[in-house]
Structure 1
Amino acid sequence: MSTVCEHSPLTFSSSPTAIASGYRPYSNRQLLTVATGCTRTTSDVFTHDLNAFPAPLVLPGDDIEGDPTYPSQSFREWLDLGVRNHVTSGRNVLYVAAAPDIDSKVEHMQDWQCSDTEPNTPTVPGVESIVAYLRAFYHVMEVELLQQR
């Protein structure tokens, strides 16, 4: 069953926190370099709309807010850090832990899973839905739900 997304149009502008912290969007040249890995690529050979690159969602306390001038990192640099958990035949299980139950000590957290338009209506998918999604996305791996929360 398909449902219609009721979200307002997507925005590609920076969040208020990003603007307040001094974050500045990347130029088209920088986006081309990061997307292609080549500093000499011209926009006419790149098939994607550069205006479709979303600005990062900068929230209070994020690293970008703390130091918006920190040098950027390309996907290749991130991948080459060497701290990745490589998938092997012996390491091919993705374990999913369900969120803990909310008891009376932290009852105010109940509101975190409700939309602003429909208070008291949970909008968080069940953990089984999340596991099913991850199984489809990480199809080369096993995805297991941990029984203990």
Structure 2
Amino acid sequence: MIKFHYTKIVSAQLGGVKNRNSKTTKFSIKQIHIPNLMADPRLKQIRIKTGVVNRIAKEKQSYEKETETEKNRLLKFKENGGDSHVLKKQEEVIQESAMMITDCQKRLTAAYADLKAILENEKDLSETEEFQNASKALELALPHF
């Protein structure tokens, strides 16, 4: 049986003591103070929006690479005289990937605009790491337009 004794937790450090005479182990949670580095909710929003822009840009690159790979594969099938059914299915795969690229482009455009608007409205946070990371993300996403 495990018993827990706890106090009000800011951030917990778990320490355990095993009692030799019984099968129970008592744990106490000690209160320690860790400064809250993300106290401003605006910083959290900037961090989230930055992650969205980065993720969608990476996803778009992945679909572009997949489309190129599948086009090369289709060309090889055509050169080798592949079955018409296989060729048709390969073309469907390429069309699916192309549709995902346009979908990613739409989502990236919206996420880019959201992040850019937040950064323009929150210029007082320009010295923070989150703001600088967001600016870098916008610069890296720019070639996708």
Shorter-chain TM range is under 0.3
Identify, as 1 or 2, the structure richer in helix. 2
When normalised by structure 2's length, the TM-score is: 0.22
Identify, as 1 or 2, the structure richer in strand. 2
